Amino acid sequence: MANDKQDKSTSDKSQVPPEENYELYYLEEKLGVTRDEILAAIKTVGRDRHLVEGYLRTHKKDD
C-alpha cells in the first residue's frame, strides 16, 4: 500500500505528549530531570511545552 500523499498531519511540537517515550527522554536529557518530575509538571501546568519546561526549570530537584 502506498503512502497517502493527502495525509498532511504533523505532530504538534508545542505540546508534550506524556504517552510518547521519546519526548519524555528528550526532556530528561535536556533539563536533567526525571520522568516522574516531567509527568508531575504536565499534571500541574498541562501539555504546553513552554509551560512544562519553565515549570521544570524553576522546580528542579537538586540531588
* CA–CA dist 23, 11 (Å, integer): 11
Alpha helices in 4-63 (DSSP H): 21-31, 35-45, 49-58
**pLDDT reported for residue 44:** 97
- Supply the mean pLDDT for the chain: 85
pTM strictly above 0.85: no
Residue 62 pLDDT class (50, 70, 90 cuts): low
